[in-house]
Amino acid sequence: MTHPPGETEGSGSTGPGGDTPGARPLGPADGGRGVVRRGGLSTAEVAERVARGEVNDVPVRSSRSVKEIVRANVLTRFNAIIGVMFGIILVVGPIQDGLFGLVIVANTAIGIVQELRAKKTLDSLALIGEARPQVRRDGRSQQVATAQIVLDDTVLLGIGDKVIVDGRVTEADGLEIDESLLTGEPDPVLKHPGAEVMSGSFVVAGAGAFTATKVGREAYAAQLAEEASRFTLVRSELRSGINSILKFITWLLIPTAIGLVVSQLAVERNDWREAVRRMVAGIVPMVPEGLVLLTSVAFAIGVVRLGRKQCLVQELPAIEGLARVDTVCLDKTGTLTEGGMDVVELRPLADGLPQADGQGRAGSRAAGPAADAADAAHAAHAAHDDVRLADRAVLQTALGVMAGADARPNPSMQAVIDAYGSSAAEADGVWRVLEAMPFSSARKWSGVQLLEPQGGEASWLLGAPDVLLPAGHDALAEVDELGAKGLRVLLLGRTLVPLDAPDPAAGLQPLALVVLQQRLRDDAADTLRYFESQQVEAKVISGDAAVAVGAVAAHLGLPGAEHPLDARRLPTEARALAEAADRTTVFGRVTPQQKRELVGALQARGRTVAMTGDGVNDVLALKDSDIGVAMGSGSEATRAVAQIVLLDDRFATLPSVVAEGRRVIGNIERVANLFLVKTVYSVLLALLVIFTHSPYPFLPRHSTVLSTLTIGVPAFFLALAPNNERARTGFVRRVLRLAVPGGVIAGTATFTAYALARANHSTDLEADTSVATLTLFLVAIWVLAIVARPYNWWRLLLIATMCGAFTLVLTVPWLSDFFQLSLAGVRDAWGAVGIAVVAGIVLEIVWWVINRRTDD
């Protein structure tokens, strides 16, 4: 039988230390489930496992179904109140009194469309994706769907393949697994037969196979996703505040509606339809329906704006939530750093010769061929002074040639290519590669045998200094010093021992240290400075070594990064953990459960926490945080549970999200004053009408034109204006400070003008309504003028335009007929203006008092 690469039975070369990376079966002695069938499961065995339910059933996704989305947006308290009123108007007519019903359609459509768009994107980012792994069954390889993998299946792995389920390695040919999305550790892990592999990791080098030991909901990534899979909405203070107001209004509506119905039927004994219309006109303005709509519009427009910056907002209130956070927890890998590395220094060594005491690496060398080769290499160095350590150009060229010979460079070698690839190109033809040995996690170095410009042959090695240098070598002190700063160090050396010798590193002449660091995102430092300027504390929580994480954070200028904490020393007691989380800025070696506990500890200290991440190890913390932010190139699990996804991985997008959130919060709070003033004066007018047994001053069409010109249209423009005020808590309390007195003043002025007009002409209800409408418009436009401050040209133009539009409604015959508005003489008009001016002066006094108390 012909085997694909990595599957050849008994194949594989013997590596350093006698390891055999080639394939071999895993039996009971290795702790396996039993003797592994070299040909994989048979069709009958697969059928048995399917019948027992031992299949890879993937957990449900986190997004809601279409049915749930529609139901959640249609069946709301707001829609119920306005919908009932709209239904009543459809029965009693005319249709122009039912214009307010259009708000239901608009508000519902915005919510449904936005969530469906997010769901479509989410569904394309499924937890395990649409990968079709290869399995071995009945002695041959075949592709199957992810959900068709069964327990004990032999799953084949090649470069770039994702580990779909948990398992135990049965075959390995230089198999290296990247587990950074699970553990946060950036270095690949060499896997030998018998080693465990976890779902969510992927292959970066070599090939192999593993036996599935945990499938479906028992797999590691699936367990994390299962725990985080329940759909939860971001808490929105704006929405919860509006809902609290609606809840109160709902209870207030019941007695008010009954009172209005009774009073209007008693007043309009001969026209029950007119009584019902005026009852509806009294109830509908109590509901701040435009505020709900405008909040949805503001959020939706913010989502569109952020979408243009490749930022997916999966829940409307998420942009508000991020604007309110005071702590941002960052994962180093994928957030502050990119996937690659950079060469920061090439440091030639002062003494390139081996030590004279004859000590070998990690102790004395055994006598034999390797020692003889070392002695020969030592003696030969004198003949090759032209490649001695002082010549930096030679070192750079050699590094470039070495890196260029690697067909599949790892991140460290890619950094060398980026730094010195041009030097190698210039030396093309002068230096020739005779043989190459790629990097291996087992031997910790890579090498090439070169034909050098002077005609001689030598082996050049690049790898771990503690492996290539003798114990106690002076350069190791430098290596330790650099490592303490979170830098990665490789040793470049040269020897005359050929690469195919038993120990090619024998007699190595150390030439230079290559110092690398993880590649920092260009925008990371600026973004951290932005958060610091906005008094948002950033904390780095990573699975990588604490020293390395602290070095990266310190390089980016994060305050407190000089004191990183290894999470293995974190206390377990809740109060002590909260104190440690509060005072520490950088955490390393953090497990997924500890990330979650740290987020909870910060929340217990009263903080509003945002969490960013890209790996499966971030899923639980993302879910528990107030706002979860995932990188688009990260794991599917993080994208599925996060409220915000940075599709282009640009950390610098977060300030834009904060700015959008502040615009929404500040402007909605501003215009909420307009809507709640209307609610207060509507309740007051209803109560006054009930107690005085008067006809309600308005029909629904009058309420519509007043709401549109003094609230709806102006609020739309005000809500979309720039606003960078800091987000504060206490939304309802702050807006009620103006809304309650403003509504009382507007309602009192309107009813006073209405009562005086009725006293003048008690039989002309249309004229009385016109006086009340004019008075209320003038007082409401005064409230708008207060809320719109500070003025600029477009705000003044907005106020003037609304005044001009109302003038047209009063003066254009077909408009005044449509809205049933007609003023009987000059006296009524000037009376309304006089009352409105007095009310405006009182409003200014109230506003001055409010501002003075706020400043104090």
Q: Which residue numbers are catalytic?
A: 331
Measured from the Cβ of residue 372, the count of other Cβ atoms closer than 10 Å reads 13
Give SS3 for 530. helix
CA 31-5-182 angle, 5° bins = 50
Quick one: which of 663, 574, 565 has its CA closest to 322? 663
801 class by beta-carbon count within 10 Å (0-12 exposed, 13-18 middle, 19+ buried):
middle
Give SS3 for 789. coil
CA distance 222 to 560: 36
Helix, strand, coil % (nearest 5) of the chain?
A: 55, 15, 30
Q: Please state the φ and ψ torsions of residue 769, each to the nearest 5 degrees.
A: -65, -40
- Cis peptide bond upstream of 94, omega within 30: yes
CA distance 452 to 513: 21
Quick one: which of 1, 128, 8, 120 has its CA closest to 60? 128
Q: Please state the φ and ψ torsions of residue 549, each to the nearest 5 degrees.
A: -65, -45
* Amino acid making up residue 200: G
Q: Please state the φ and ψ torsions of residue 472, each to the nearest 5 degrees.
A: 85, 0
Residues in the chain: 856
CA distance 119 to 116: 5
Quick one: which of 281, 290, 267 has its CA closest to 92? 281
CA distance 613 to 716: 35
CA–CA distances in Å: residue 801 to residues 781, 783, 797, 805, 808:
11, 15, 6, 6, 11
Contacts of 423 (CB under 8 A, 6+ apart): 393, 396, 397, 399, 400
- Are 839 and 779 within 8 A, CB to CB? yes
Give SS3 for 451. strand
Contacts of 583 (CB under 8 A, 6+ apart): none
Measured from the Cβ of residue 351, the count of other Cβ atoms closer than 10 Å reads 12
